[in-house]
Structures are given as C-alpha cells and as structure tokens.
C-alpha cells in the first residue's frame, strides 16, 4: 500500500517542487501535538491524521470533484499511514501514545503484541 500510494503521490501535480514532497510526507505527524492537551485528545487528533478511511474519503472526494489538492491530501495521508503501519506504528488508544491497535510500542520503536 505504501509503495502504490507513494507512486500515486508522485504522479499528482499540485505545482510544487518534488523535493517538498519529502517534507510534506511527514506533516501528518504534527498531529502528535494533540497530546499536549492530554492522552484522549492526542489519540483522537493523531488518529484523524492517520486513519486510512479518512484518507480514502478525502482522496475519493478530491478525485470526483477534480480537486487535485484534496486528492493529493488524501493520498498523502494514506501513504503516510501505510508507512507508519509498516514501521509498527498504529492507531492510538486513549491510554497514551505507545498504546496502539498493533500492540504496545517499546522504547526502541518496536511493537509488542499483548498475549491473549
């Protein structure tokens, strides 16, 4: 998913230099600032920027309205979310940043699945 969506991003022309794509790619991580308002607020804001359904909805809306900016935004969110999942970062639970739907993040950046 990451490779396909990253390639799709490359194909969408919104009139900026391709070098900006590298910086913009990590923009959804600014959602982590929501944690300054507490764990619950942080999780909600972070998850909005990292939820693939939100990304797909924005991209599809942009496609059908022929709005390249919305299409780009949706593809960017989807690509970034896919990249994060590949690294083990999932959607956040209210307990705190390290508690995700993929497991609990360890301090070394790896994910530990709880035994059930």
pLDDT single digits (tens) 45-58: 999 999 999 999 99
Grade residue 112 by pLDDT with cuts at 50, 70 and 90. low
**Residues in the chain, how many?**
116
pLDDT confidence bin for 34, thresholds 50/70/90: very high
Contact 2, 83 (CB under 8 A): yes
Is 70 exceeded by the pLDDT of residue 110?
no
Show me where the domains of the chain are located.
2-112
Task: Examine the pLDDT at 32 and tell me if it is beyond 70.
Answer: yes
What pLDDT sits at residue 116?
45
* Helix residue ranges, H only, 51-112: 52-64, 68-86
In this prediction, residue 23 carries a pLDDT of 86
CA–CA dist 15, 53 (Å, integer): 26
Q: 75-103: b or e for each residue (b if 16 or more CB lie within 10 Å)? A: bbbbbbbbbbbeeebbbbbeebeebbebe
């Amino acid at each position: 998913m990451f490779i396909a969506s990253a390639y799709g991003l490359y194909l969408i022309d919104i009139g900026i230099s391709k070098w900006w794509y590298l910086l913009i790619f990590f923009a959804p991580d600014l959602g982590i600032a929501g944690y300054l308002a507490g764990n619950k607020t942080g999780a909600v804001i972070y998850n909005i920027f990292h939820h693939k359904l939100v990304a797909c909805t924005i991209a599809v809306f942009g496609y059908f309205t022929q709005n390249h900016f919305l299409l780009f935004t949706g593809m960017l969110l989807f690509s970034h979310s896919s990249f994060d999942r590949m690294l083990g970062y999932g959607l956040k639970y209210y307990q705190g940043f390290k508690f995700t739907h993929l497991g609990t993040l360890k301090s070394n950046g790896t994910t530990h699945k709880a035994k059930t």
